[in-house]
Amino acid sequence: MSESILLVDDEEGIRKVLGITLADAGYRVTTAADGEEAMRRFAEERPDIVLTDIKMPGMSGLELLESIKSRDSEVEVIMLTGHGDMELAIQSLKRDATDFITKPINDDVLDIALGRARERITMRRRLREYTENLEDMVAKQSARLVAAERQLAALQVMDGIASGVQTLSRMLDQAGIFNELPCFVSMHSRYLEIVATNDLYKERLGHKVGQPSWEVYKGREGSGNGCPVWKVIETGEGQRSNEILIDKHGQEIPVIVHTAPILDNDGEIEMVLEISVDVSKVRRLQDELRITRERYRQLFDEAPCYIAVIDRSLKVVDANRRFHHDFGEPAARHCHDIFAHRLAACQGCPVERSFDDGKPHQYETVVTTGDGRQANVLVWTSPLRDAAGNITEVMEMSTDITQVRQLQDRLSQLGLLLGSTAHGIKGLLTALDGGVYRLGSGLDRNDEARVRDSFEDIRHLTGRLRKMVLDILYYAKKRDLNWEVVVAERFATETAELIEGKAVNRGVGFQLEIAAESGTFEADAGALSAALVNLLENAVEACAAERSRPEHSVTFSVGGDANHVEFSVRDDGVGMDRETREKLFTLFFSSKGSAGTGIGLFVANQVVQQHGGHIAVASEPGHGTTFTVSLPRRLPDVARCPAPQNGQPEGDEADDN
């Protein structure tokens, strides 16, 4: 283990104890007592992981997080929080903190958080190595192709040589000239007979003087066989063609053949000059390049991540097979349209940053596939350059980390619930102490009214405490529904009463519509009512936030058919764009900024799904929103559990007793 950690806490005892624990675990530890010292240490040490308290004098943990991320976005930052700091913890996650740990620090929780940070660091390193190796391989093959093309360019010179030979053949010693050329040179009579060859021709092809002109060609026999020399005599013009020669050992040699007529004083063809260039190395390089390209494409298509090549206008010009499967044909669409259905580039777009500074960048976001599935992805970008070193495109690789995030979200959700309920439990326990005191004093005084009143208070407080504990168990692990047969009309009326007062206080009209014979259905009335109240509260807040009209209203309706009951929450508030709609039920996502935690709608959606139902959302900016909750009237078998009998609690409740 070689990762270095910067530990920041204003309490010296925590720095010493936690520093020793981290050092024993194999980390290189540097400590700082406040944010200013931490930034100096960060500039000197450049640690891989920063472990910082969220509340400190001077620069706070959130400010330190933002300052570190602005200097190096790849540093993993883990926040240390108290039980009362849940809102700050949520803010830190929204600002790209890796995780948060509540005090006092549990060694197992610390080890899990550090392990997650190491996994992210290792993933980035592997992606960087993968990109660098891929670029190096492409660069080497491109260089070899350039060299091969230069050899081919030299062949064009042969056309000029052929015309010059007409005058040089009578004035110079032909053997002396042609022996210097790195190619096969031969002279042929008009009767298709080889009359002279250079030394290379003799060395590779054998002594062929006096043999037919087609002798060395593969598959050429007879004077009318279409060999290059015969074509010159037939047409009177020079020729250029790709041929296969057979050397003196019977091996094939791929060549490019240039032939030119040599005329006598009467303008008749007297001889034919033939120059053949061996292109075996060129062919071999072309084959190697083709194989390399095929392997590159296979690697490109079979990579277990989404790979896209994006130009400067942010249009996808190429993509691998997995990208096509999950997002469809790019068809030169913009990447922000494909991933997030946005009209403009995403804020902090790593592709734009790679175009700007020519460096790789990392980014984590949520994308929506073609079938509407949402996926958490870790994005890595790398610039692609042309021969002159100019950035022409950027390769973007996105790894699906949805399962990792789901596990992390579940753990984070449990931590948030425990933290937020801790204060509530403390208050209930204090009230119980008061009730017990009053009960004792009533017994001492033989005051029956005081005893009865105290007993009722204690029973009420015990019920609230019991419900709170059961809620924690519900989110800590899968909990069976405490279902019953529910009358839809009465259920809707009671749920509406819970929200109507809040709507009136916010100046929002509220209407309840109940269809005739709305019937009954099976459900956990308490859990389902809480989910619907969450939707109704969001509708009221959306109306209150819309200020262009003086009056707004929320309509809550219930109806359905023989097999399903349907609840509808309709408002004429601010509305939502497509990106917000698709991320609406994602844990910690909130369109309310710091005013929302991003937990309520996530939990509401889970409750509806546990009942075998689903939530549909229809919304447009400025035109309001409609949530439609559809539930089966009879619970699916997987959601059903034995109903309570004789008042005996079930499941976790029975275990707790």
Whether the bond into 104 is cis, omega within 30 of 0:
yes
Looking at the predicted structure, is the pLDDT value of residue 132 above 80? no
Pair type for strands 184-189 and 564-571: unpaired
Measured torsion, CA atoms of residues 458, 460, 462, 463, in degrees rounded to the nearest 10: 170
Looking at the predicted structure, is the pLDDT value of residue 641 above 70? no
For residue 595 the two structure tokens come to: 């005013």
User: Distance between CA 549 and CA 623 in Å, rounded?
Assistant: 12
| Cα distance between the two ends of the chain | 46
User: Distance between CA 208 and CA 558 in Å, rounded?
Assistant: 99
Is residue 60 packed enough to be buried (19+ CB in 10 Å), middle (13-18) or exposed (0-12)? Answer: middle
Give the residue from 40, 38, 63 showing the smallest Cα distance to 51: 38
Q: Which tops the pLDDT comparison, 110 or 570? A: 570
pLDDT reported for residue 162: 45
pLDDT reported for residue 475: 54
For residue 123 the two structure tokens come to: 């993933």
**Mean of pLDDT values over 159-175:** 44
Q: What is the mean pLDDT of the chain?
A: 81
pLDDT reported for residue 512: 93
Looking at the predicted structure, is the pLDDT value of residue 167 above 70? no
Condensed to tens digits (0 to 9), the pLDDT of residues 69-120 reads: 888 888 899 988 876 677 887 888 888 888 888 888 888 888 888 888 888 8
Condensed to tens digits (0 to 9), the pLDDT of residues 172-182 reads: 344 456 777 78
User: Distance between CA 415 and CA 109 in Å, rounded?
Assistant: 11
Condensed to tens digits (0 to 9), the pLDDT of residues 406-418 reads: 777 666 666 655 6
Q: Which tops the pLDDT comparison, 158 or 434? A: 434
For residue 213 the two structure tokens come to: 């002109």
Q: What backbone torsions phi and psi does residue 25 show, to the nearest 5 degrees?
A: -80, -5
pTM of the complete model: 0.37
Q: Please check whether residue 101 is in contact with residue 92, taking contact to mean a CB–CB distance below 8 angstroms.
A: no
User: Distance between CA 358 and CA 356 in Å, rounded?
Assistant: 6
Q: Please check whether residue 625 is in contact with residue 552, taking contact to mean a CB–CB distance below 8 angstroms.
A: no
**Mean of pLDDT values over 468-472:** 58
Strands of the sheet containing 564-571, edge to edge, are 509-514, 553-560, 564-571, 625-632, 614-619
Coil, strand or helix at 266: coil
Pair type for strands 4-8 and 28-32: parallel
pLDDT reported for residue 142: 67
Q: Please check whether residue 654 is in contact with residue 480, taking contact to mean a CB–CB distance below 8 angstroms.
A: no
Bridge partners, residue 196, by sequence: 187
For residue 114 the two structure tokens come to: 């550090």
User: Distance between CA 186 and CA 111 in Å, rounded?
Assistant: 79
**Mean of pLDDT values over 159-168:** 45
